A = this chain, B = another copy of it.
Amino acid sequence: MFRLAETPIDPAALLHSLGEARAGACVTFAGWVRNHNDGRPVEQLDYEAYPALAVKEGERIVAEARAKFPVLGIVAVHRTGSLAIGDLAVWVGVTAEHRDGAYAASRYLIDELKARVPIWKKEHYAGAQPVWINCATRGEHAQAAPPR
C-alpha cells in the first residue's frame, strides 16, 4: 500500500498494521527532515505532490517489490505540505519471513519512490531564497518565482 499524507505520519499505527504471525522480520525506513543539505542550514521544507500520478506510481513500485522479493506486507507513506526539522517525510515498512527479503524490498522501495514518484521538495534557508531541489538550471540553484 502506498499513500500520501497531508498530516503527520504515525509509524506506530502503520507498524501495527503490518503485524502478522508468519512474519519474522520487519525493516522500516524513516526519512526525516534534516537540519542541513549540501552544507546549507535548512529551516523548513515543503513537499508538493501530483496526487493522482503519485499514488499510481507508488502502487506500481509496491507491486514491483512484491514481485521481486519474498515479502509479506508493504506499507509506504509520503508526506505533503510544510514540514519542520525532525518531521517524518517518508516511511516505508516491510515484513517478511526472513530478513533478506525485508531488507532488499525496503531498499528497493525507497530508492524507486525517491526516483520516480512525482513529489517535489522546496527547501527554505535562513537569509536566502528557497530552492526547488533538483530543479536548478545552468549550474545555478533554481529560484522560486518572485511573488506576484
Contact = CB atoms under 8 A, between A and B. Distances in A.
Instruction: Determine the main DSSP class of A at the interface with B.
Output: mixed
Count the copies.
2
B34 A24 contact: yes
Nearest to A97: B34
A52 interface: no
Given A12-B12, A19-B86, A25 B36 contact: no
B22 A35 contact: yes
Contact of A32 (B24, B29, B35): B24
A63 interface: no
B21 A34 contact: yes
A2 interface: no
A51 interface: no
Among A22, A23, A30, max chain B CB count under 10 A is at A30
B12 A23 contact: no
A144 interface: no
Interface of A: 11-12, 15, 19, 21-36, 85-86, 97, 99, 102-103, 106-107, 110
